[in-house]
Amino acid sequence: MSDKLWAGRFSRALDAQANDYNASIRFDKRMYAEDITGSMAHAAMLSATGIISKEDGETIIGALEGILADVNSGKLEIDLGAEDIHSFVEQELVRRIGDTGKRLHTARSRNDQVALDLRLYLRNQTDEIIALLKKLIQVICDKAEAYSAAIMPGYTHMQRAQPISFGHHLMSYCFMLLRDIGRLQDARARMNVSPLGCGALAGTTFPIDREMTAQSLGFDGSCLNSLDGVSDRDFCVELASALSLVMAHLSRFSEEIILWCSWEFKFIELDDAFSTGSSIMPQKKNPDIAELTRGKAGRVYGDLISLLTMLKGIPLAYNKDMQEDKEAIFDCFDTAKMALTVFAPMLETMRVNTDRMRKAALEGFINATDCADYLCAKGLPFRSAYKIVGELVAYLIRTSKTLESASLSEYKQFSDLFDEDVYQAINLERCVEKRQSLGGTSPVQVAKQIAFVREQLQK
Ligand code: ARG
């Protein structure tokens, strides 16, 4: 009973099961470093403003440094019997320095404290995710450079559409992931204001200096409405949403990797270190890592919905519902971090079967657009050229031929404009090379994309 921060008004201890239900230490203990550094900044401010004595301030800060060092080194174990990480740190402080430790919570509430800890923790987590995204983008750029001239079929509706290079295909993911970084940076900037000093909900009667704590903790400013400061969890939703898109992108990529690994495609082979076998079928080599990533996207979306739902009905200011923010947002970060961590080396070590890709591109009249473009260049309106090539393709399908194997006289049955140079025009390498428009699939354009993306990574 007496070990509760809120003991005093109560005459009976919390029911054991209600206590377990209420406690958050199991999952908020990971914020111990943020809780302690936040407390040190608060103590320094209390002492600088004369709210507590210089001597008490120094004693508190010294003891907090000791607690941090001891938890870091494993000398001090976080007591899972504590209600939450804030209670644990304060109780340990009081255990170490007695009554002086009891002055730390002056002009502070666990409501602004937890809002502070969470922002500090998620700020670091966001930086880690951005670093992992950058690493993955680098890996993709390197692969794209190596395969900027490797021909593969580009698809729409999962039907062979036009020839592209594998490098071009890979680079598309870099642009998605760059946008992900941008979204995370935007969310981080909005999140980076300090709620410390909002108190329980209404601010405080003490002459605190909020700008001082905000600055010393690396914030760009302070939350300017105390009710909002303690009850805002928008940043969790924004981050979960940005991470949902990260997972959506990894999931789409995974889906393609899974297809490409199949015997039907065989465009790539994943390294043994990133594949798994079957317990019964000796021949199997499964892309479990990609499948798991596709599966885990749903889990992160679930976290996002949990956060949105948790927020939608709670009146101002703090309500205990908000304790549910942590497991959801932590799970988003843990999941995305794990996915990004395995994804990069999985891609780095995959083998690419360029012959299979080119062969797949050879069948299916993938160069029909180029054939129409050829007639267009000879003066026909595109729509008319389109129709002629459509009729030609229908004829070739009927006679089991391809644009490459048709004779010139067969071509000429459909238009007099066809000449010997049509074979050059429908050559797959030429088809890719000629798509020089900005953002197109030609190796020159892909090289530009790679250079652009690499430059963005330096920022
Ligand atoms: N464990 C709590 C949470 O995560 C800390 C804040 C407690 N505040 C309170 N008024 N009970 O939200």
* Atom nearest to 83 CA in ligand 1: 1
Cβ contact 322:329 at 8 Å: no
Residue 264 burial class via C-beta count within 10 angstroms: exposed 0-12, middle 13-18, buried 19 and up: exposed
3-state secondary structure of 233: coil
Q: Quote the CA–CA distance of 438 and 444 in Å, as a whole number.
A: 10
Pocket test for ligand 1, best of 5, 89, 111, 319 (most atoms within 8 A of CB): 111
3-state secondary structure of 2: coil
pLDDT at 278: 82
Active site residue 278: yes
Tell whether ligand 1 has an atom less than 6 A from the beta carbon of residue 49: no
149 is written with which tokens?
Answer: 């001239």
pLDDT at 243: 98
Residue 335 host element (H or E):
helix 325-348
Tell whether ligand 1 has an atom less than 6 A from the beta carbon of residue 327: no
Tell me where in the chain the CATH 1.20.200.10 domain(s) lie: 111-359
Mean pLDDT of 184-209: 98
Tell whether ligand 1 has an atom less than 6 A from the beta carbon of residue 323: yes
pLDDT at 1: 43
| From 157, 279, 400, 437, the catalytic residue | 157
Tell whether ligand 1 has an atom less than 6 A from the beta carbon of residue 60: no
4 is written with which tokens?
Answer: 């509760």
Centre of ligand 1 to C-alpha 110, Å, is 6
pLDDT at 4: 82
Centre of ligand 1 to C-alpha 14, Å, is 16
Tell me where in the chain the CATH 1.10.40.30 domain(s) lie: 361-447
Listed in sequence order, the DSSP H helices in 349-381 are: 354-362, 368-377
Tell whether ligand 1 has an atom less than 6 A from the beta carbon of residue 110: yes
Centre of ligand 1 to C-alpha 221, Å, is 23
Cβ contact 433:367 at 8 Å: no
Q: Higher pLDDT residue, 165 or 276?
A: 165
CA 209 from centre of chain: 36
Beta strands 221-222 and 193-194, pairing class:
parallel
Is pLDDT at 77 greater than 60 in this prediction? Answer: yes
Q: Quote the CA–CA distance of 5 and 83 in Å, as a whole number.
A: 9
* Atom 2 in ligand 1: residue holding the nearest Cα: 323
CATH fold, domain 361-447, is: Ribonucleotide Reductase Protein R1; domain 1 (1.10.40)
pLDDT at 227: 98
Tell whether ligand 1 has an atom less than 6 A from the beta carbon of residue 322: yes
pLDDT at 307: 98
Q: How confident is the model at residue 5 (pLDDT cuts 50, 70, 90)?
A: confident
Residues 107-125: b if buried by 16+ CB within 10 A, e if exposed: bbbbbbbbbbbbbbbbbeb
3-state secondary structure of 420: coil
Mean pLDDT of 186-191: 98
pLDDT at 8: 85
The predicted-structure confidence for 33-60, as pLDDT tens digits, reads as follows 999 999 999 999 999 999 999 999 999 9
Scanning the structure block, which residue is given the tokens 């010294």?
Answer: 62
* Atom 4 in ligand 1: residue holding the nearest Cα: 323
Is pLDDT at 140 greater than 80 in this prediction? Answer: yes
pLDDT at 183: 98
* Atom 7 in ligand 1: residue holding the nearest Cα: 110
Cβ contact 263:323 at 8 Å: no
DSSP character at residue 49: T
Provide the residue count of the chain: 459
Tell me where in the chain the CATH 1.10.275.10 domain(s) lie: 7-106
DSSP character at residue 220: S
Is pLDDT at 238 greater than 80 in this prediction? Answer: yes
Cβ contact 56:47 at 8 Å: yes
Centre of ligand 1 to C-alpha 337, Å, is 26
pTM for this one?
0.95
Is pLDDT at 407 greater than 70 in this prediction? Answer: yes
Is pLDDT at 433 greater than 60 in this prediction? Answer: yes
pLDDT at 143: 98
Pocket test for ligand 1, best of 83, 114, 230 (most atoms within 8 A of CB): 114
Is pLDDT at 142 greater than 90 in this prediction? Answer: yes
Residue 67 host element (H or E):
helix 54-73
Q: How confident is the model at residue 277 (pLDDT cuts 50, 70, 90)?
A: confident
Residue 321 host element (H or E):
none
* Atom 3 in ligand 1: residue holding the nearest Cα: 323
CATH fold, domain 111-359, is: Fumarase C; Chain A, domain 2 (1.20.200)
360 — phi, psi (to 5°)? -65, -30
Is pLDDT at 344 greater than 50 in this prediction? Answer: yes
| From 53, 262, 278, 405, the catalytic residue | 278
Is pLDDT at 389 greater than 60 in this prediction? Answer: yes
Active site residue 157: yes
C-alpha dihedral over 171, 172, 175, 176, to 10 degrees? Answer: -130
378 is written with which tokens?
Answer: 């000879």
The predicted-structure confidence for 280-294, as pLDDT tens digits, reads as follows 888 888 999 999 999
Centre of ligand 1 to C-alpha 56, Å, is 26
pLDDT at 12: 87
Class of domain 7-106: mainly alpha
3-state secondary structure of 194: strand
* Atom nearest to 23 CA in ligand 1: 1
Tell whether ligand 1 has an atom less than 6 A from the beta carbon of residue 303: no
Q: What percent of the chain has pLDDT over 70?
A: 100
pLDDT at 392: 97
Pocket test for ligand 1, best of 20, 119, 323 (most atoms within 8 A of CB): 323
Listed in sequence order, the DSSP H helices in 107-200 are: 110-146, 166-191
Mean pLDDT of 97-126: 98
CA 256 from centre of chain: 18
Q: Quote the CA–CA distance of 414 and 409 in Å, as a whole number.
A: 9
Q: Quote the CA–CA distance of 152 and 150 in Å, as a whole number.
A: 7
Beta strands 159-165 and 151-156, pairing class:
antiparallel
DSSP character at residue 217: T
Mean pLDDT score across all residues of the chain: 96
